[in-house]
Each structure stands twice: as structure tokens, then as C-alpha cells.
């Protein structure tokens, strides 16, 4: 129940931000603000979704904290690929 609620609220916040930037911000910096808002929106979803879900077991082959996100570069594609079709 929490997951769709989080996605809806987060998207709602993003759309409100989008509306505000489009209406109130001058065009010179609008594009850069939109890019920043987009970045926060998507990165926020992929960062907070496992937290909201409350399950860290999905992060097979990846680092367990976002602070170590860069370490995903060290895992091999084979490790990340769930062979055998198990969930």
C-alpha cells in the first residue's frame, strides 16, 4: 500500500514543482532547474523505493547503501542477473 502511495505523492510533488518552474521562473535558468528537478525526481524514486518497500534483499550484487552507489561498477553482470528465475 505504501509503494503506490509514495509513487503518487512523489510524482505529485514533481508535477507541482514543474508547474511552478514553468510559471514563475525566467526562461534563462528554467531549463537547468527543470533538469535538476528531473534528477531529484527520478533519483529519489530509485533511492527511496527500497526504503519504502522495507526490503533490502532486492539489492543482490549491489551495494546496500546509496552512499556506496558507485560500487555498482564493481559487480559483474552475471552476479546481478538472477539466473534460475527465482524471486
d(CA 45, CA 42) in angstroms, rounded, equals 5
In this structure, are residues 63 and 72 in contact, taking their beta carbons and an 8 Å threshold? yes
Lookup: cell for 78: 552475471
> Per CB under 8 A, does 85 bind another protein?
yes
Q: Which is nearer to another protein, 16 or 64 (CB)?
A: 64
Q: What are phi and psi of 86, to 5 degrees?
A: -75, 160
Binding mask 22-41 for another protein (x = CB under 8 A): -----x---xx--x--xx--
Residues that bind another protein (CB under 8 A): 3-4, 7, 27, 31-32, 35, 38-39, 42-43, 45-47, 49-50, 53, 58-59, 61-63, 66, 68-70, 72-78, 80-87
Amino acid at each position: 500500500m505504501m509503494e503506490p502511495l509514495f509513487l503518487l505523492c512523489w510524482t505529485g510533488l514533481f508535477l507541482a514543482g514543474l508547474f511552478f518552474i514553468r510559471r514563475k521562473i525566467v526562461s534563462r535558468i528554467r531549463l537547468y532547474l527543470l533538469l535538476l528537478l528531473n534528477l531529484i525526481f527520478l533519483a529519489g524514486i530509485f533511492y527511496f523505493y527500497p526504503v519504502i518497500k522495507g526490503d533490502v534483499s532486492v539489492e543482490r550484487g549491489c551495494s546496500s547503501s546509496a552512499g556506496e552507489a558507485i560500487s555498482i561498477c564493481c559487480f559483474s553482470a552475471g552476479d546481478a542477473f538472477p539466473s534460475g528465475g527465482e524471486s
